[in-house]
Amino acid sequence: MSNFAQSKPVSVADLEKIALDKLPKSVRAYYEGGAEDEITLRENISSLQRYRVVPRYLVDVGSDKLDVRSRPIWGKRQNFPFAVGPSAFHRLAGYDGELDVARAAAKRGISMGLSSSSTSNLEDVIEAGQVARSQIDVETQKYNKVYDLVDSDWWQQLYVSNIRSDTEEFIHRSERAGYTALLITIDRPYLGRRHSYLREKFELPPHLRRASGDKMAQDPSMHWDELIPWLRSVTRMKILVKGVLHPEDAALAIKHGLDGIVVSNHGGRQLDAAPATIDALPCIADVIRGRIPIFFDGGVRKGIDVFRALALGADIVLLGRAVLWGLAAGGEEGVGLTLDIIAEEFRLVMALAGITDVTQIKRSTLALVNPYQVGLVHLPDPVWEDKRSR
């Protein structure tokens, strides 16, 4: 029987309400909370909402014309330009935690980033996804009339410890299991000041543990010139740094030959009053110029948010709390509903905007609401040559 026979959620906001009503107070505070006054946490959402989509009409947007796949990421077009982002402690939400998330994502050919603070073994997560994928009937693998689904990719988030032997062992373990990229978190040299945590210290309940990365926390002394060469020496996986907000750090990512970056402020949980990620994104995209993929997270709750991030320079949008709300609301079914809602919203936004392919989603498809100016501020496309393949 469906978990949603009575409630019939039609949006991520509906799933969030169901989830928050079900979760214990301490878990709700952990998932919801941000740093200090939670300015950045709120602005991750409110800044997205300042951007308006300016549609074009009399365009052939028949269902056989719409192609919602991402631009090529390391030579492969993802089925959608969004993926499950890494977030900690899924089993706090109940059900099978990360295993349910993996199953829901894999059945839809949506890639997944796993947190090193997972409450499920990293091997079990990728196996659960692969088994779920293999059991899908061939007919259900066609998501639209344009293309067949490709398999999900699996990415591992990582805190690099000052005990490098532990980190190296974890990297090799992830590589053996089938993960193809490392998302190296760089924005947590120290834990942000989180008021809910200070008022009531958060601890995992006795029946749960950090199954994937219980030995690791970010080394506060690591730096560009030391970290990246060391990572290259121990793995062949793709390497991305997660937590880029400054254009100069984007330039350093290019200089050091990284395979991508993640524009992120840790969900507003680290430095309060750091910029909302959507506000940081355009300047970073102007530095990257399509030379490496830009992943993006922060405040994404709707398909239109995915569109906004792509227009401002992202290649892949990572879903964080939206997935947790689906999981807490209804396990695998709830996660699947979250992903389906965002996919359908995104497809509809494309069609209503007169867009048939993600390569057409550019800055000029957006306008900015400025309360100090009459009318909308229309955004010009960048003048630099976009190096991304189509």
Query: What one-letter code names the amino acid at 324?
Result: L
User: DSSP letters along 355-372, please?
Assistant: --BGGG--GGGEEEE-TT
299 among annotated binding-site residues: yes
6 among annotated binding-site residues: no
298 among annotated binding-site residues: yes
Tokens (6 digits) for 329: 């609301």
56 among annotated binding-site residues: no
Do 349 and 81 meet the contact criterion of CB atoms below 8 Å apart? Answer: no
209 among annotated binding-site residues: no
**Which residues, 6 or more positions from 18, have their beta carbon under 8 angstroms from its beta carbon?**
4, 7, 9, 325, 328, 329, 330
233 among annotated binding-site residues: no
At residue 378, φ and ψ (nearest 5 deg) are: -75, 140
159 among annotated binding-site residues: yes
320 among annotated binding-site residues: yes
300 among annotated binding-site residues: yes
CA distance 114 to 91: 13
321 among annotated binding-site residues: yes
Among the listed residues 313, 201, 190, 165, the one whose alpha carbon sits nearest the alpha carbon of residue 247: 313
236 among annotated binding-site residues: no
Do 270 and 255 meet the contact criterion of CB atoms below 8 Å apart? Answer: no
* Sheet arrangement for strand 366-369: 51-53, 366-369, 376-378
Residue 387 CB neighbours (<10 A): 10
33 among annotated binding-site residues: no
86 among annotated binding-site residues: yes
257 among annotated binding-site residues: no
Residue 376, CB-side half-sphere exposure with 13 Å CA sphere: 13
Which residue's entry shows tokens 């073994």? 121
157 among annotated binding-site residues: yes
Chain-centroid distance, C-alpha 270? 17
25 among annotated binding-site residues: no
At residue 84, φ and ψ (nearest 5 deg) are: -75, 125
366 sits in which H/E element: strand 366-369
Residue 60 CB neighbours (<10 A): 9
152 among annotated binding-site residues: no
**Residues with catalytic roles:** 266
As annotated, the binding site for glyoxylate includes 30, 159, 194, 266, 269
As annotated, the binding site includes 30, 86-88, 115, 157, 159, 185, 194, 242, 264, 266, 269, 297-301, 320-321
As annotated, the binding site for FMN includes 86-88, 115, 157, 185, 242, 264, 297-301, 320-321
